[in-house]
Structure 1
Amino acid sequence: MRILHTSDWHIGRTFHGHSTLDALRGVLETLTEQVRTHAVDVVIVAGDVFDSATPAAACYTLLSETLRALADTGAQVIVTSGNHDSAARLGFQAALLRDGIHVRTDPAAIGEPVTVSDEHGPVHFYGIPYLEPALVRAVWPGVRTQADAVGRAMDLVRADHASRGGRTVAIAHCFAAGVEPTPHLERDIQQGGLDVVPLSAFDGVDYVALGHIHGRQKLAEHVRYAGAPLHYSFGEGHKPRGSWLIEMDAEGASEAVWVELPVPRRLVTLRGPFEEILAATSSDDARDAWVSVEYTDDLPVRDPLRRLQQRFPYCAKVVHVPDVARHSDGRGYTDRVRAARSDLELFDAFLSHVRDGEGLTEREREVLRDVLEERVVVEALA
Structure 2
Amino acid sequence: MRVLHTSDWHVGRTFHGRDLLADQETVLVGLASIVERERVDVVVVAGDLYDRAVPSAESVDMCARVLGAIREAGARIVITPGNHDSAQRIGVFGNFAAAGGLHLKTKLSALDTPVVLDDVAFYGLPYLDPEPSRHALGVDGRGHAAVLGEAMRRVRGDLRNRSGLGTMVLSHAFVTGGEPSESERSIRVGGIDHVPGSVFDGVDYVALGHLHGAQKLAENLRYSGSPLAYSFSEARHRKQVLLVDLDSYGLHKVTQVVLPVPRRLATVAGRLDDLLSDPRHAGLEECYLSVAVTDDVRPLDLQRKLQERFPFAVHAEWRPDGGRAATELRYADAVRGRSDHQIAAGFVHDVRGSEATGSESLLLEQAFREVETE
Question: For residues 34-53 of structure 1, what are the structure 2 equivalents within 5 Å?
Answer: 34-53=34-53
More displaced 10-residue stretch of structure 1: 128-137 or 41-50: 128-137
Instruction: State the Cα distance separating 1:330 from its structure 2 match.
Output: 4.7
Residue 318 (structure 1) aligns with:
316
- Distance apart, 1:303 and its partner CA: 0.7
Deviation string for 1:173-200 (max 9, x for gaps)? 01111011002x1010024652211000
Q: Which structure would you say has the larger Rg?
A: 1
Aligned pair partner of 1:257 in 245, 255, 258:
255
Query: Hey, what does 1:31 align to over in structure 2?
Result: 31
Give the conservation status (yes or no) of the 8 Å contact 2:4–2:242.
yes
Aligned CA-pair RMSD: 2.4
- Residues 349 and 359, structure 1, Cα contact 8 Å, conserved in 2: no
Mapping of 1:118-197 within 5 angstroms? 122-141=119-138, 142-165=140-163, 166-183=165-182, 185-191=183-189, 193-197=191-195
Query: Which sections of structure 1, spanning at least 5 residues, go unmatched?
Result: 376-382
Q: Which range moved further: 242-251 or 154-163?
A: 242-251
Query: How many Å apart are 1:67 and its aligned residue?
Result: 1.8
Taking a change above 3 Å as real, the CA distance of residues 50 and 329 of structure 1, as seen in their structure-2 partners, is closer
| Change over 3 Å in CA distance of 1:340–1:140 after alignment to 2 | same
Deviations 1:111-163 (A, max 9, x none): 1111122xxxx211100000111222322231421111111111111111111
Contact 1:175 1:212 in 2 (8 A): yes
CA distance in structure 2 between the partners assigned to 1:262 and 1:324 by the alignment:
40
* d(CA) in 1 for partners of 2:315, 2:106: 36
**Could you tell me whether the CA contact under 8 Å between 1:104 and 1:127 is conserved in 2?**
yes
Structure 1 pair 193–259 and aligned structure 2 pair: CA distance change class (3 A): farther
Percent identity between matched residues is 41
Q: Is the Cα–Cα contact under 8 Å of residues 348 and 359 in structure 1 kept in the other structure?
A: no
Instruction: Name the CA shift for 1:22/1:347 in 2 (closer, same or farther; >3 Å).
Output: closer
Give the aligned residue type for 1:321: R
Q: Which residue of 2 aligns with 1:379?
A: none
Structure 1 residues 341 and 63: alpha-carbon distance in aligned structure 2, compared to 1, 3 A threshold: closer
Shift of 1:249: 4.8
Residue type of the alignment partner of 2:269: R
Cα distance in 1 for residues equivalent to 2:43 and 2:199 = 23
**Aligned-partner Cα distance in 1 for 2:80–2:136:** 20
Q: Which amino acid aligns with 2:186?
A: D
Cα pair distance change 1:339/1:155, threshold 3 Å: same
Alpha carbons of structure 1 residues 33 and 331: separation in structure 2 relative to 1, 3 Å: closer
Classify the secondary structure of the residue corresponding to 1:339.
coil
Structure 2 gap ranges (5+)? 367-374
TM-score by length of 1: 0.88
Residue 128 of structure 2: SS of its match in structure 1?
coil
Q: Return the alpha-carbon distance in structure 2 between the equivalents of residues 220 and 359 of structure 1.
A: 55
What amino acid does structure 2 have at the position aligned with 1:127? G
> Residue in 1 aligned with 2:295?
297
- Kept in 2, the 8 Å contact 1:337–1:349? The answer is no
Task: Tell me which amino acid in the other structure corresponds to 2:166.
Answer: R
| Residue in 2 that maps onto 1:115 | 116
Deviates more, 1:51-60 or 1:169-178: 51-60
Listed as ranges, the matches of 1:171-320 within 5 Å are 171-183=170-182, 185-191=183-189, 193-320=191-318
Q: For the residues of structure 1 that align with 2:32 and 2:328, how far apart are their CA atoms? A: 60
The secondary structure found in structure 2 opposite 1:67 is: helix
CA distance in 2, matches of 1:330, 1:292: 27
One-letter amino acid matched to 2:126: P
CA contact (8 A) 2:243 2:256 kept: yes
When residues 311 and 140 of structure 1 are mapped into structure 2, their CA distance, relative to the original with a 3 A threshold, is: same
2:346 to 342, 345, 349: 349
User: Quick one: distance in 2 between partners of 1:24 and 1:329?
Assistant: 41
Contact 1:217–1:224 (8 Å) recurs in 2: yes
Shift of 1:348: 5.0
Deviation at 1:75, TM superposition (A): 1.7
Shift of residue 346, structure 1, vs aligned partner: 4.8
CA drift at 1:297: 2.1
- Counting only pairs closer than 5 Å after superposition, residues 37-116 of structure 1 correspond to structure 2 as 37-97=37-97, 98-116=99-117
Contact between 1:113 and 1:124, CA under 8 Å: does it hold in 2? yes
Q: Which residue of 2 aligns with 1:380?
A: none
Check 1:354–1:140 CA distance in 2 against 1; reply closer, same or farther (3 A cut): same
Q: CA deviation at 1:294?
A: 1.1
C-alpha distance in 1, partners of 2:166/2:95? Answer: 27
Q: Is the 8 A contact 1:340 1:349 kept in 2?
A: no
Shift of 1:241: 1.3
When the two structures are aligned, how many residues end up with a matched partner?
A: 361
Partners of 2:78 and 2:103 within 8 A in 1: yes
Would you say the 8 A contact 2:7–2:44 is kept in 1? Answer: yes
95-104 or 204-213: which moved more?
A: 95-104
Amino acid at match of 1:287: E
